[in-house]
Amino acid sequence: MPMPGDRRLTDEERFPLLDETGRRMLERLREHPHAPRWTFPCGDRLTREFCDRIGSFEADLRCGPAGSGWVGGDRRPAWLEPFAEKCLRHVPAYRRRARSGCRFDEIPTCSRADLGREPWAFVPDDQPLDDLLAYYTSGTTGNAVSVLSHPVTAGAYLAALRVMLGRAGIALESGPDRVAIAQVCAQTATFTHATIMSYLGGAGYVKVNLNPHEWRHPEDPVRFLDDTAPEILTGDPVAFAALAELPLRHRPRALVSSAMSLLPGLKAMLETRFGCRVFDVYSLNESRFVAFAGPHGHEILPHDLYVEILDERDRVCPPGKRGEIVLTCGRNPFLPLLRYRTGDTAALGWVEGKPVLLGLEGRAPVLFLTSGGEVVNSIDVTRALGHLPISQFSLRQETDGSLVLRFRGAEGEEEAMRRILECLFGPGMNIDIGILDAPLAGGGKAITYSSALSPETLVKQPWSWRPADGG
């Protein structure tokens, strides 16, 4: 994926394995009569060697915990200590935090805020910069960062997805004659693209936004998805709730929800509406796939990921006690994670020999109402305020519809914030803006959304697609 301002890559550069059948799939998706306005060209940059490495990763995942070496708790996998030592020697961000040769539990934790300040400092000194990818993400919680990554790291998510689905008897098949995955969003604005997945034999992949302004005709989102018939739909709970309101006839094999907490009531509704299994995946841009929800909690799938549950003083919580999820993982050569605080909380347990996150509390979906009674996605609030020099803020909507914004790090920008929020929520909205008195809890989650309004009421309201350009 090119950085903004870089020259535009050719299809052959984006897809080193591109053949004539793949080219036909790309043309079909790009030129589809009901396609949305594609806003960002994208490719997987996968070579045959890279695909083979992803295949080996998938084969290891299929072995399960018994063959993976992932042990967790006080028992540590054999790769952990050598990996930590390599990070302390070769990664500037970690070298500044702890001395080489120290014990693993003496290494201070880091957070998204550290990554946001200097993402380049997490690249190892000896890591070649060939095949470097950059993902700009504001996430669902704000605190925008550039996540540096590698084609194999991105492709490994597909491998984990296939293993998870396969355990439920659902095939994510390969071949250039099918659209394997469609990612669905419900935002004022986001990148959209049509691409193919070399690891899945040139199968199609699209990312679409349900915002009607992104389409030629109001009926086009349904027409496009019905005609391309993606086998798997991915998205977040907000997007799936919006999609469920459309008269879609297509029945996918599965829905995969991530990025926000999926509430049981919405999961049941989606399974009834679409007639398929709905999977709740815990995944981060920084680490990719971490775990998926099962009957006893979120089962940790990858074998190359070490999970700790720590308290606010970096002390390990005993089994069953809630704390913050902290990850160590070397899957991404441009962003090796060493005791990385996610800001999400859970307890660690073991079920039938498998490590499980118990009571995972991640990024809950939050919707707001405008002064006209329309729904605004919290992601759109993040994007609208993201250009301001805010280090932390919280936004809450009260039962009367009024908004309370508390912020830190952008003194003197109150009027700009008010204009932006009035543009997004309507000029008649009552907005209380003030300084955040104390740092937010959550170990690095620098933005918090909450609402006193009923979620059941919110999902039944019409959507607002009003651009927030008041700043």
Query: Burial, 128: exposed, middle or buried (Cβ in 10 Å; 0-12, 13-18, 19+)?
Result: exposed
Give the pTM: 0.81
Average pLDDT for 296-315: 92
**The predicted structure's pLDDT at residue 4:** 47
In tens, the pLDDT along 386-413 reads 777 675 678 999 999 999 999 876 678 8
Q: Is the pLDDT of residue 446 over 50?
A: no
**The predicted structure's pLDDT at residue 444:** 36
Average pLDDT for 301-305: 91
- Structure confidence at residue 340 as a pLDDT band (50, 70, 90): very high
In tens, the pLDDT along 57-109 reads 999 999 865 444 555 555 688 899 999 999 999 999 999 999 999 999 999 99
Q: Which residues contact 230 (CB under 8 A, 6 or more apart)?
A: 179, 180, 181, 182, 204, 206, 250, 252
- Structure confidence at residue 422 as a pLDDT band (50, 70, 90): very high
What is the rounded average pLDDT for all residues in the chain?
A: 87
- Structure confidence at residue 137 as a pLDDT band (50, 70, 90): low
**The predicted structure's pLDDT at residue 459:** 59
Question: Which of residues 236 and 3 earns the better pLDDT score?
Answer: 236
In tens, the pLDDT along 20-40 reads 999 999 999 999 999 999 998
Q: How far apart are CA 298 and CA 318, in angstroms?
A: 18
Q: Is the pLDDT of residue 3 over 50?
A: no
When mean pLDDT is compared over 246-250, 281-285, 311-315, 427-431, the highest value belongs to 246-250
**The predicted structure's pLDDT at residue 412:** 81
Question: Which of residues 154 and 142 earns the better pLDDT score?
Answer: 154
In tens, the pLDDT along 161-176 reads 999 999 999 999 899 9
**The predicted structure's pLDDT at residue 293:** 93
In tens, the pLDDT along 90-99 reads 999 999 999 9
When mean pLDDT is compared over 84-98, 356-370, 425-439, the highest value belongs to 84-98
By residue count, the chain amounts to 471
Q: Is the pLDDT of residue 362 over 70?
A: no
Average pLDDT for 299-314: 92
Question: Which of residues 366 and 312 earns the better pLDDT score?
Answer: 312
Q: How far apart are CA 28 and CA 30, in angstroms?
A: 6
- Structure confidence at residue 440 as a pLDDT band (50, 70, 90): very low
Question: Which of residues 187 and 341 earns the better pLDDT score?
Answer: 341
**The predicted structure's pLDDT at residue 157:** 96
- Structure confidence at residue 314 as a pLDDT band (50, 70, 90): very high
Where b means 16+ CB within 10 Å and e means fewer, 247-267 reads: ebeeebbbbbbbbbbbeeebb
- Structure confidence at residue 442 as a pLDDT band (50, 70, 90): very low
**The predicted structure's pLDDT at residue 389:** 66
Q: Is the pLDDT of residue 261 over 80?
A: no
Which percentage of the chain shows pLDDT scores above 90?
60
**The predicted structure's pLDDT at residue 50:** 97
Average pLDDT for 192-203: 97
**The predicted structure's pLDDT at residue 458:** 64
